């Protein structure tokens, strides 16, 4: 019984091995209508041109992008450069792949349909309407849709860029950047992000972005993003760079959004207190100005900025600044800062004597 069972098992193994050898020696023939006329390979995303000939999308798009305007098979001039997905043929190819899986053929995945010029024009029309109606929220929704589609694939990005999207977005940016633009910050940031995604921009887009309102808004938005970079730069930099960085930071903190960024960064107060009386008169003036803006507008219940500045020895430095001299504007801000800090001195003051080494009187 056992011997008989072993013989049967060996026979089955031999038959299976023989069948595999036969299968491996057989040549798999791909149906001709499943092959792309350009690459001659199995099509993964079959699309049909206006001439009625079907190609693999990747192959025919490369052909068109190379500057060709005729059908490779018929030599007819193409009425449209946007091929239409051939879903029926694609499903036939997928079914064939499943049938031939024993040959090592894998089923081709269902491709994501790229955006068409018509779809892009519909979205751009929505952006233009929202712009004309001053509907910032609706415009933002359309801009986000453009961004998502552009990031989905390079093919989508090319289609979006080729249909005048840059000009439409830049025109919307110009419209919504007019004062007061602070209420449209989220939309403006999304438009700039979308423009970067689909860059390079054409002349029309650059013209809109070159307007006074657009340029002013872009500088303002850029300063908001620079707050973090500036503070990290100020930790260790040479005199000239320090002065310039503090000057830009002072300007950024003239806006609510800039101050909000500064409040949220742990480096802000330590860096500003450290720069007092250490770099130059100009650096000290900017540092005092920034601290004055932050302390004066601090809405926290416990005066967080004032307390932190006191703990870092700011009061003693400000007192010394009044003694060594400064400009009238800086002197006024210094005096007001000391009055604000005086309320919290008993519970928060701490002096770092190292900050007073090698101080020189201002001339």
Please give the full DSSP string across 174-204, using - where no structure is assigned.
HHHTSSS-GGGHHHHHHHHHHHHHHPSP-HH
Give Cα separations from 151 to 97, 131, 156 (angstroms).
30, 23, 8
Q: How many residues does the chain have?
A: 363
CA atoms of 193 and 199, how far apart (whole Å): 10
Q: Quick one: pLDDT band at residue 294, thresholds 50, 70, 90?
A: very high
Most confident by average pLDDT, 103-107, 166-170, 218-222, 275-279 = 166-170
User: CB–CB of 237/249 below 8 Å?
Assistant: no
pLDDT at 253 over 80: yes
Q: Let me know if 97 is exposed, middle or buried by CB neighbors in 10 A (0-12, 13-18, 19+).
A: middle
- Which ranges in the chain are annotated with CATH 3.30.40.10? 32-103
What pLDDT does 27 receive?
66
Q: What is the CATH number of domain 32-103?
A: 3.30.40.10
CA-closest candidate to residue 289, choices 303, 275, 307, 308: 275
Place of tokens 């050898």: 21
Share above pLDDT 90 across residues of the chain, in percent, rounded to a whole number: 44
Count CB neighbours of 226 within 10 A. Answer: 18
Q: 46 in helix, strand or coil? A: strand
What pLDDT does 193 receive?
82
If one compares 84 and 348, the residue with the highest pLDDT of the two is: 84
Q: What H or E segment, with its residue span, contains residue 54?
A: strand 54-56
Query: Around 295, how many Cα atoms within 13 Å sit in the side-chain half-sphere?
Result: 28
Rounded (10°) angle between helices 256-263 and 281-296? 90
Instruction: Name residue 54's beta-bridge partners.
Output: 48
What pLDDT does 203 receive?
84
Q: For the whole prediction, is pTM greater than 0.95?
A: no
What pLDDT does 23 receive?
44
Give Cα separations from 351 to 92, 143, 151, 281, 314 (angstroms).
80, 52, 52, 22, 8
Quote the radius of gyration of the chain (alpha carbons, Å).
34
Count CB neighbours of 55 within 10 A. Answer: 25
Which of 1.10.3720.10, 3.40.50.1000, 3.10.180.10, 1.25.10.10 would CATH assign to domain 222-347?
A: 1.25.10.10
Query: Around 342, how many Cα atoms within 13 Å sit in the side-chain half-sphere?
Result: 8
User: CB–CB of 337/291 below 8 Å?
Assistant: yes
- Which ranges in the chain are annotated with CATH 1.25.10.10? 222-347
Query: Around 275, how many Cα atoms within 13 Å sit in the side-chain half-sphere?
Result: 34
What is the tens place of the pLDDT at every residue in 17-43? 444 444 444 567 889 999 999 999 999
């Amino acid at each position: 019984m056992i011997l008989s069972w072993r013989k049967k098992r060996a026979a089955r193994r031999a038959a299976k091995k023989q069948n595999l050898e036969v299968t491996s020696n057989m040549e798999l023939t791909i149906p001709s209508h499943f092959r792309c006329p350009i690459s001659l390979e199995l099509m993964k995303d079959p699309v049909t041109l206006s001439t009625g000939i079907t190609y693999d999308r990747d192959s025919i798009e490369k052909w068109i992008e190379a500057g060709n305007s005729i059908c490779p098979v018929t030599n007819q001039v193409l009425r449209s450069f946007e091929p239409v997905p051939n879903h029926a043929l694609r499903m036939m190819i997928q079914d064939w792949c499943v049938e031939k899986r024993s040959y090592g053929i894998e089923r081709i995945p269902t491709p994501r349909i790229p955006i068409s010029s018509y779809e892009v024009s519909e979205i751009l029309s929505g952006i233009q309407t929202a712009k004309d109606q001053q509907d910032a929220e609706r415009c933002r929704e359309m801009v986000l849709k453009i961004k998502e589609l552009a990031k989905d694939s390079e093919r989508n990005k090319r289609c979006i860029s080729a249909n005048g999207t840059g000009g439409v977005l830049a025109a919307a940016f110009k419209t919504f950047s007019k004062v007061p633009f602070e209420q449209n910050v989220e939309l403006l940031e999304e438009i700039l992000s979308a423009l970067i995604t689909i860059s390079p921009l054409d002349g029309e887009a650059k013209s809109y972005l070159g307007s006074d309102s657009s340029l002013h808004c872009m500088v303002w938005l850029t300063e908001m993003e620079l707050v973090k970079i500036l503070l990290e730069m100020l930790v260790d930099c040479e005199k000239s760079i320090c002065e310039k960085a503090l000057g830009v930071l002072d300007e950024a903190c003239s806006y609510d959004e800039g101050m909000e960024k500064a409040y949220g960064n742990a480096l802000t107060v330590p860096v500003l207190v450290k720069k007092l009386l250490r770099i130059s008169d100009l650096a000290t003036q900017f540092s005092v100005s920034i601290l004055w803006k932050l302390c004066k507008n601090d809405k926290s219940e416990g005066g967080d900025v004032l307390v932190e500045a006191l703990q870092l020895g700011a009061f003693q430095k400000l007192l010394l600044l009044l003694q060594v001299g400064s400009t009238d504007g800086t002197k006024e801000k210094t005096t007001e800062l000391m009055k604000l800090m005086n309320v919290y001195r008993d519970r928060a003051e701490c002096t770092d004597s190292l900050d007073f080494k090698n101080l020189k009187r201002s001339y």
